[in-house]
Amino acid sequence: MADQRHDAGDARDAVRHGREPATAAEEVARAWDQLVATARRTVADGLVVGTSGNVSVRVGDTVLVTPTGVPYERLTPGDVVGVDLDGHQVLGRLRPTSELPMHLAVYRTTDARAVLHTHAPDATAVSTLVQELPLIHYMAAALGGAVRVAPYATYGTPELAGNMLRALTDRSACLLQNHGTVAHGASLDQAYDRTAQLEWMCRVWLTASSVPGLTPHLLSREQVAEVGERLRGYGQHQGLTNP
């Protein structure tokens, strides 16, 4: 293990002096910078408090992940933490997040390149009330459909990772009962956007359902599925230009 282990300082030094493997080192350094920026954004946007929540990004067969118990504003380029897909640490000296089993479970079973776990307050509140986020808005389709709530299990355990995976079946995000959220994507930006979308939908449902004497109108699964089909062609397409 010690032979495999090195830190970001070694990688960056290799880049500065033009030694191999410069390309791999640059990719790791760039991905770590993006990971730290995303982690800090979760605090700034109120999705986590203190050192709660965690972020990871996959670079080849290495998973870069936030360390346990270190405030995000203190993380530096030399604090990179990386593990292989079996969880063996191959980069850095800080210990990885205690939620590593959840992150690795996602990477082993999906084509995700980034995973974001938060304790977003509205989403966490919803996770204590229902087994599935009611279909309050059509953007549930962007997450694969109705967002499920994974049954509670102690943090950092294989049981929690298993519950999460079942809730994520055919989905890109889920709620963790009495805990928070998990979302994955093809990039850190996409995983973050999905997390923010989930938190927003939870806030909308909590707000609507709190009005005395009224019950929110919900969409049908068929209506959400129809939106899912439309979203496949949404946005700018290659070759198109603005008028």
Q: Which amino acids are annotated catalytic?
A: 99
CB under 8 A, 24+ apart: contacts of 6-15: 6/90, 6/91, 7/78, 7/80, 7/91, 7/92, 7/93, 8/32, 8/77, 8/78, 8/79, 8/80, 8/91, 8/92, 9/78, 11/80, 11/91, 12/77, 12/78
Token pair listed for 8: 């970001």
> Residue 49, CB half-sphere, CA atoms under 13 Å: how many?
6
Residues β-bridged to residue 183: 116, 173
Q: Which residue has the tokens 């292989």?
A: 84
- Give whole-number Cα distances, 192 to 54, 57, 210, in Å: 12, 12, 27
Q: Compute and round to an integer the Cα radius of gyration of the chain.
A: 19
Q: Which residue has the tokens 């380029």?
A: 77
Instruction: Give the residue among 6, 2, 28 at the shortest CA–CA distance from 15.
Output: 28
- Cα–Cα distance for residue pair 100/161, rounded to 1 Å: 9
Biggest CA-to-CA distance, the chain: 69
Token pair listed for 149: 């709530």
